[in-house]
């Protein structure tokens, strides 16, 4: 107290204004390096965990495949060939048998028609008039026959009574015969006139598609008016029979022994490569092409889609081996590289819930695309191909499709 009182008043005032430092800032300064160290350790731990999970700790990557099911007895491909879509009767040209003007033709190229559908109508007024004339002639002939028959009967009676001579009786009978012949002729003319009238209406004789339409309404059907080299003078339309769609291919004569009537086949259109159609061999031509060294073969398409299949479309035909008479059970096939042998036993590693599980199997026959499994698998399972010798049951794995 005595020292402080001895100080000058101005020094005491300055000392009272001085801020005293405490020890807390010094403690805070020590915490900063510790926080940095902890942060570095956390980063190193994260990096280490990431490296572990992506290297040593990552599930083992394995190549996998699916256990397949193959129907036993299914035919296999033995031969392929390229050709075109045709029909059984190839193409039918429908024409008129009479002359006249077309008054109706309600068809278009590409249109599907049924048997009996109208293709064209020819003006029938002239032919109806001829029919009516033939009917009138028949009626007149029938009346003449009745008169001649009555006269012949009277002459015959007079001859028997000795009133008329034999010559008069013969003349009357001859007149009756002539009138009867005229009646038959008139009846035949009626039939012919009816036929002409019926031919004025042209209908489709088949179920098919209109490939070509040669004439239009108003055209005249007359001799000498063909307008194209492939058109007849009375042609109306060209049809293709859609009831029996086929594919026609040329097979090398050295391979023809592989094909037989009734053998199964598939037809694949170039325009629709993802839509195969089942077929059967129905025709093998009896003569080979000497220059090409080929034999023509036709297959019948069993269930054609008429909205897709059209005549003359390019197609590929695959001939199949005949189906075995006795069908066997479906075969379960596993890839050969997935099977592991342990002495007399065999097993595979099946993938389930992201883990590998050892499954013992019983093998059957060997095929080109795998080994038959008679017990242990049912088909559709995922198995490991070329499994590691270090693989353990229940081990987590990462499947990779092979």
Shared domain check, 183 and 141: yes
Return phi, psi of residue 218, to 5°.
100, -15
For residue 236, being part of any structural domain is answered with no
Three-state SS at 147: helix
The SS3 of residue 343 is coil
Boundaries of domain holding 187: 125-198
Give the helix ranges, DSSP H, for 199-266: none
Q: Which of the four pLDDT bands, split at 50, 70 and 90, describes residue 400? A: confident
Lowest mean pLDDT among 97-111, 324-338, 375-389: 324-338
| Pair (313, 259) in one structural domain | yes
28 belongs to a structural domain: yes
In a domain, 219, yes or no: no
Do 312 and 334 belong to one domain?
no
| Closest to 188 measured CA to CA, from 129, 141, 147 | 141
My answer on whether 180 and 133 are in the same domain is yes
Residue 203 lies in a domain: no
Q: Which residues lie closer than 8 Å to 211 by C-beta, 6 or more apart?
A: 91, 109, 237, 238, 239, 240, 311
Does residue 336 share a domain with residue 378? yes
The CATH number of residue 250's host domain is 2.40.30.170
Tens-place pLDDT, residues 338-394: 999 888 899 999 998 889 999 999 998 887 678 989 999 988 899 999 998 888 999
Per-residue pLDDT of 222-255, as tens digits, reads 765 444 444 567 889 999 888 889 999 999 988 8
Note whether 67 and 83 are same-domain residues: no
Q: Is 207 part of any domain? A: no
CA distance 268 to 276: 5
Q: From its phi and psi, is residue 288 left (phi > 0), alpha (psi between -120 and 50) or beta?
A: beta
The CATH number that applies at residue 133 is 1.10.287
Are both 344 and 394 inside the same structural domain?
yes
In a domain, 107, yes or no: no
CATH of the domain at 370: 2.40.420.20
pTM score: 0.51
Number of separate domains in the chain: 4
DSSP element (H, E) containing 38: helix 24-54
Q: Cα–Cα–Cα angle for 31, 35, 37, nearest 5°?
A: 115
Question: Half-sphere exposure of residue 141, counting CA atoms within 13 Å on the CB side?
Answer: 20
119 located within any domain: no
- Residues 190 and 138 grouped into a single domain: yes
Tokens of 69: 């099911």
Q: Which residue has the higher pLDDT, 401 or 398?
A: 398
Does residue 217 sit within a domain? no
């Amino acid at each position: 107290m005595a020292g402080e009182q001895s100080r000058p008043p101005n020094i005491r005032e300055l000392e009272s204004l001085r801020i005293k430092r405490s020890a807390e800032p010094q403690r805070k300064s020590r915490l900063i390096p510790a926080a940095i160290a902890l942060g570095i350790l956390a980063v190193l731990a994260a990096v280490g965990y990431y490296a572990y999970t992506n290297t040593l700790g990552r599930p083992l990557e394995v190549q996998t495949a699916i256990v397949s099911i193959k129907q036993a007895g299914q035919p296999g491909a033995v031969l392929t060939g390229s050709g075109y879509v045709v029909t059984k009767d190839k193409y039918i040209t429908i024409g008129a048998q009479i002359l006249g003007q077309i008054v109706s033709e309600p068809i278009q190229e590409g249109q599907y028609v049924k048997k009996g559908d109208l293709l064209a109508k020819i003006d029938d007024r002239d032919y109806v008039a001829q029919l009516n004339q033939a009917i009138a002639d028949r009626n007149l002939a029938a009346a003449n026959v009745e008169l001649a028959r009555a006269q012949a009967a009277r002459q015959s009676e007079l001859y028997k009574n000795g009133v008329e001579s034999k010559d008069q009786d013969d003349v009357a009978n001859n007149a009756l015969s002539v009138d009867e012949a005229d009646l038959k002729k008139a009846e035949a003319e009626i039939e012919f006139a009816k036929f002409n009238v019926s031919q004025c209406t042209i209908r489709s004789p088949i179920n098919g598609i209109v490939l070509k339409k040669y004439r239009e309404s108003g055209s005249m059907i007359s001799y000498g008016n063909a307008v194209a080299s492939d058109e007849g003078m009375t042609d109306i339309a060209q049809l293709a029979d859609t009831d029996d769609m086929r594919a026609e291919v040329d097979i090398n004569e050295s391979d023809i022994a592989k094909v037989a009537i009734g053998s199964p086949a598939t037809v694949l259109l170039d325009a629709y490569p993802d839509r195969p159609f089942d077929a059967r061999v129905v025709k093998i031509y009896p003569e080979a092409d000497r220059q090409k060294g080929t034999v023509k073969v036709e297959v019948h398409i069993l269930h054609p889609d008429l909205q897709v299949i059209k005549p003359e479309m390019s197609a590929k035909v695959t001939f199949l081996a005949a189906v075995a008479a006795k069908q066997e059970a479906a075969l379960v096939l596993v890839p050969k590289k997935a099977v592991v042998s342990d002495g007399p036993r065999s097993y595979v590693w099946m993938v389930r819930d992201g883990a590998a599980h050892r499954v013992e199997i019983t093998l059957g026959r060997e095929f080109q695309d795998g080994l038959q499994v008679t017990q242990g698998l049912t088909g559709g399972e995922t198995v490991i191909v070329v499994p590691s010798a270090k693989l353990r049951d229940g081990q987590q794995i990462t499947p990779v499709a092979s």
